[in-house]
Amino acid sequence: MTLVLSACGHAHGGVPVLRDFHYELPDGLTLLLGPEGAGKSTLLGIAASELTPDSGTVALDGEPAGSHSYRRAVGWMPDGVMPMTGLTAREFVAYVGWLKGMRRGKAWQAAGRALERVRLTEYAGSRTSRLAPDGLALLGSATGLVHGARVLLLDEPTAGLHLHHREVFQDVLRELVDEGDLRVLLATADPATLPALATDGAADTVDTVTVLDTDQDESAPLYSGTAEDFLSRAPEGTARGRAPAAALAAVLGSGRGSGRDSERGSERGSERGDAGPDGVQGSGADGAEGTAR
């Protein structure tokens, strides 16, 4: 059981963003890639129950989106959220815990543990306004952890961060996933968001790469596969450091090719239970673990 979007439709100002969309959040750390306007933030907003889909259902382990238990189980850091001014890091994290329904005392205690998990303990008493951008990104993760979330949704959490800070952030995310029952969905338009994706250790950091395209008619992600499979989509001879961007371009390019529509049926089939033994949908043309429509 996981977070599942079933036949979800959503439109902004009358323009469909998602239509009859199906998605199951895989285990581990999932990187959600796609160009601006592909619907990544909408997908996350619906998954976080910030947005209500015009049609379809969203549930986590059977709990419908919007219910108290659902919101407690889903940590959500939208793009553009700033910590409340005047609060320390621990106070802000505890406040989010309170917002999620925790008692004040328990939220305060849990905030300390959440900050420890994201390596911010030494900044617990610092005003959030004095935190560096990487600290703010980690703080956002802590707000998702404070209430014991089983799913963490992050929208562009590393935008504007330097390479070193992104490395620290990805390491923390990986640790959080490895610690136990936590699934992370990180949406970004920049495939270099997690530096490990451009290294040989990509598979150790990112479990799944999912790609959305701007075509609203699609009922499933354009691509979903392991990091290795995703990177294999890059043209031969591509330098390792450029592989994520090249792979994304290749996936988007192939998705816009003529064979796309004909492959949609098999994609739906994989969602109905035809996934491979590792839970990844289908199999790529080159035999790697992944699928493209």
Partner 1 sequence: MRLRTRLRAHSALWAAPLAVALTLLVHHTVSAEPAAASYGYAPTLVAGPLSPMYAFAYALTAALGAWEGNRLSRVPVWRLTPNRSRPRIALDGLWPAVLLGWLMLTLPVLIALVQQGVAPTAASLRPLAVGLLVCAAYAVIGFAVGLRLPDVIAAPVLAVVVFLLVATAVALQVNWWRHLVGRYPYIPEFGEVAGWSSMAAHALPTCAFALAIALLWLPVRRLPPRLGPALRVGLVAAVAAAGLGGAYALVKDWGADPPVAHVDIPVRCAGQDPRVCMPEVTADALPDVRAQVVGTLGKLDRAGVDHGATAVHDSLGRGDGTKVSGSRWELPLTDAERRGDLGYQVVRAAVRFPCAEPDPMSRRLALGWAADRADQSESFARVLAEDPHLDSARREEVAGSLGTVLGQSAEDQKRWYRTTLTQACTVGGGDR
SS (H, E, C) the chain: CCEEEEEEEEEECCEEEEEEEEEECCCCEEEEECCCCCCHHHHHHHHCCCCCCCEEEEEECCEECCCHHHHHHEEEECCCCCCCCCCEHHHHHHHHHHHCCCCHHHHHHHHHHHHHHCCCHHHCCCEHHHCCHHHHHHHHHHHHHCCCCCEEEEECCCCCCCHHHHHHHHHHHHHHHHHCCCEEEEEECCCCCCHHHHCCCHHHHCCEEEECCCCCCCCCCCEEECHHHHHHCCCCCCCHHHHHHHHHHHHHHHHCCCCHHHHHHHHHHHHHHHCCCCCCCCCCCCCCCEEEC
Binding-site member from 108, 123, 169, 223 for partner 1 (CB under 8 A): 108
CB of 154 to partner 1, least distance (A): 13
Nearest residue (CB) to partner 1, 28 versus 78: 78
Residue span binding partner 1 (CB under 8 A) among the ranges 64-72, 117-125, 158-166, 228-236? 64-72
Nearest residue (CB) to partner 1, 155 versus 167: 155
Residue span binding partner 1 (CB under 8 A) among the ranges 99-107, 225-233, 246-254, 260-268? 99-107
143 binds partner 1 (CB under 8 A): yes
Nearest residue (CB) to partner 1, 95 versus 169: 95
Binding-site member from 32, 48, 58, 231 for partner 1 (CB under 8 A): 48
87 binds partner 1 (CB under 8 A): yes
Contacts of 164 (CB under 8 A, 6+ apart): none
Number of residues binding to partner 1, judged by CB under 8 A: 29
Nearest residue (CB) to partner 1, 68 versus 164: 68
Residue span binding partner 1 (CB under 8 A) among the ranges 72-80, 116-124, 204-212, 251-259? 72-80
132 binds partner 1 (CB under 8 A): no
Binding-site member from 35, 57, 61, 81 for partner 1 (CB under 8 A): 81
Binding-site member from 2, 27, 59, 72 for partner 1 (CB under 8 A): 72
Phi, psi of 76 (to 5 degrees): -140, 120
95 binds partner 1 (CB under 8 A): yes
Binding-site member from 19, 71, 233, 293 for partner 1 (CB under 8 A): 71
Q: Applying CB under 8 A, which residues contact partner 1?
A: 48-50, 52, 68, 71-72, 74, 76, 78, 81-87, 91, 94-96, 98-101, 104-105, 108, 143
